[in-house]
Amino acid sequence: MYEKFRLRLNIVLTSVAVCALSSCVASADSEVFVTEPICIANSQGSQTFIVEIADTDTRRAQGLMGRTEVPPMTGMLFVYSRPAQRGFWMYRTLVPLDIAFLNTEGEVQQVMQMMPCESRVAALCPSYRPNQAFSMALEMAAGQFEVHDISAGSRVFRGSCPAAIAPEQLRRPEH
């Protein structure tokens, strides 16, 4: 009974998030982002979030720049074709953000909180760099990682959460 209620609640929250996110996704001078659900799983369980996908150089460069808010249960997933060590900046980004750096299996390796850069000169904005290569990065409004217990070891799956995440899906694969 509880699982059915939780699944229905996730669907309703996801629908609300899509509506909220779509109202701030495009403007006259911005790139249009595709949105999709992601599932974030950790030792507490799993939840579905709606994210915009930044999978081109143009979309990654624009990121969440210029947004006045990032609604709860939403964010942006930066997707790269291969792992590398890169930096993120907050030039022209108006709201504080949490960022998680993910390996190729979608495991969160490191999280940081990024503050808006008030400089009008991009080169004066700090770069936020993880201490290892990553394949994806997830940004959400600052504080959302703490609210949803997203930390190193959490797993991110593209698509909605299934009814249950098997414990072996949370374990790191042996190499």
Judge whether 174 lies within some domain: no
The share of the chain scoring above pLDDT 70, in percent, equals: 76
- pLDDT tens digits for range 10-35: 443 444 444 444 434 444 356 789 99
pLDDT band at 169 (very low <50, low <70, confident <90, very high): low
Give 172's pLDDT tier (boundaries 50, 70, 90): low
Residue 38 belongs to some domain of the structure: yes
Asked if residue 114 lies in contact with residue 87, where contact means CB atoms within 8 angstroms, the answer is no
Residue 157 lies in a domain: yes
Residue 68 within a domain: yes
Which domain does 32 fall in, by range? 2-162
94, 134, 148, 156 from 164: Cα distances, Å: 36, 27, 17, 14
Is 168 contained in some domain? no
| 51 found inside a domain | yes
**Is residue 100 domain-resident?**
yes
| Mean local confidence (pLDDT), 36-45 | 94
Q: Answer yes or no: is 36 within a domain.
A: yes
Q: What is the CATH number of the domain that holds 97?
A: 2.60.120.1140
pLDDT band at 173 (very low <50, low <70, confident <90, very high): low
pLDDT class of 90 with cuts at 50, 70, 90: very high
d(CA 91, CA 137): 17
Number of domains making up the chain: 1
Q: Kindly report the average pLDDT of the chain as a whole number.
A: 84
Residues 62-77: tens digit of each pLDDT:
999 999 999 999 999 9
The torsion region of residue 140 among left (phi > 0), alpha (psi -120 to 50) and beta comes to: beta
Q: What pLDDT does residue 162 have?
A: 85
174: left (phi over 0), alpha (psi -120 to 50) or beta: beta
Residue 131 has pLDDT above 50, yes or no: yes
Q: Rounded to 5 degrees, what angle do the CA atoms 92, 67, 90 make? A: 30
